[in-house]
A and B are shown apart, each in its own frame.
Chain A
Amino acid sequence: MRAPDTILPLRAEGLGFSTGGIAILSNVSLTLEAGSPSIIVGPNGAGKSVLLRLLHGLLTPSTGRVLWAGDAARRQAMVFQRPVLLRRSVLANAVYPLKLAGITAAERESRARAALEMVGLAALADRPARRLSGGEQQRLALARAAALSPEVLFLDEPCASLDPTATRAVEEIVGTLAARGTKIVMTTHDLGQARRLAGEVLFLNRGRLREQTPAAAFFNQPATPEAAAFLRGELVW
């Protein structure tokens, strides 16, 4: 399903971000390849969300740069911790980004409905989006992003404010998208979730990338003492 003009791998070179004189992220260099999900873990304040926003292009790096292999403008999407839903119906929310992307009216609706079907919201298409439960809202945000058929999907703590049932639903959808060939780049503070989803783990601590390791290796034998302490559930800083 991957177009020959792929935008991956995504490379970051010496990425840094500071605001108000405080460095949030320093000297992060990484390469993200097509394939299984890359999960970014680390304690609160490690800079996970900022890294995701820099990669997605929502923030401008203070130092370094983000390099895509192709024109990434319309080939990536992001799902936020708290879904920002438009004051419109569920279907209209899924259609909106497709309209911005310049997709024809007929195709917009069929793609939006297919995406709602995938997340199990097809029956609620005509409901006002902001009347959905928290879990349904996040599934709609996922459908909205998925309808764009992005090559890379960024997710910033998508389950942080959800109950276990809703979390499981979100993880299943993320798994489905990954299986379809969408590159998942996701932050989480939930190690169980990282174990369930990760192909590789990026461990971030105090604004620095400490490890980028295949998931099995990371969970069995982390390379850095900070990651080992983090996995043991100790407070690291």
Chain B
Amino acid sequence: MRAKKNPLHPVRRPLLPPGQRSRAAHLLTAAAGEGRFALPCCTACGRFAWPMPEACPACLGDIALATASQGARVLSATTAEVPADAYFRERAPWRVGLVQMDCGPQALVHLSPGADTGDSVWLSLKLDRAGSAVLHAGREGEDMTTDPQWRDMVADPRDRRVLITDARHIAALPLARALAKAGAAAIYAGLPDQWKPLDTRAALESVPGLSLVPLDVTSDRSVADLAAQIGGKVEILVNTADLPRPGGLMGPSATADARAAMDTVAFGLLRLARGFGPAMAGRGADGTLGAVAWVNVLSVFAHAAPPALAGYSAAHAAALAFSHALRADLGQGGVRLLTVFAGPTDDPWFQTFPQPKVTGKALADGIVAALLNGQEQAVVGDLARDLMERLRENPKAVEREFAQGRM
């Protein structure tokens, strides 16, 4: 149950933990953001190393990240009662441990309350509120959601208020249900074009804590009106606004479709960012349930455009570009930007696309899991994962495959 805020207390301004890292250490940031556990490892002798070195201390070989065992044992533990850094000082006492990792090196870790010297622990690579990777250790099977240090690094919807920007999206209903199940205090579902029928209206209205609110992301006025009403309450914003209109560059309506997609997907994001961003960034440390995450649901085709989705892909690529600036702005307040890349969804607009397509439920579950895990990137659907992997391996081949009509 969400406790009422004492109106006499000022809103706590967001402070961030130290975010400065070496360039190489940001390889860990990428892994943590994607929810992968990988540690620095020598490409020559295979030994793991910590902290991130520029060469292997055993053989001076090159270092790259490699998947590592998550097991460790606590060598020593303490509680920082009076940390020097302001972020930790206002959250003290703060548990810190020194662990012996099963893969070899020792590391300082954020230590869960249930773990102590001699315990076997399970390591996670998390993004902290500054958006940089850190190690967390807890006992295997321990409920981390009760650890305040863990909670400060993930984006748990429990007791938080969530805005889903487009209730007509295929994932909106399952997402609302999943968020309610995860304990969200309130769910606002934005509804453009109120006069149009909404097949899922009854089902949505039966989700505990959900209210439908008018929101058209293509309208400056509509976004501003809703932000004025609930902008100070939204702790998680999930932008599901989309306009899938398949078609190549040469089609008769290509310009109009691309412009419409841009207006919804790219400029819609821009309007939302201007309307909701400042309040969220300002509330990043508002009690223990401050603003915590902004989720953009984007098409995986933001990364590579098939000719049959030219305008649509361009709109998503534009939104992805905007989201980098938004991540930096929200990051000032410790609010995470999570980008969820989905493959073609199982709805009429992608009717001609080959299976497997992404169901609304799969997408919703992917979003909630990524929030609970504190990620800043998630990829949902086999096709999307496959495409990301192919792009990583050989982007030129993807371009040619798309040109030949292959997904």
Is B one of A's binding partners? no
**B binding-site residues for A, Cβ under 8 Å:** none
**A binding-site residues for B, Cβ under 8 Å:** none
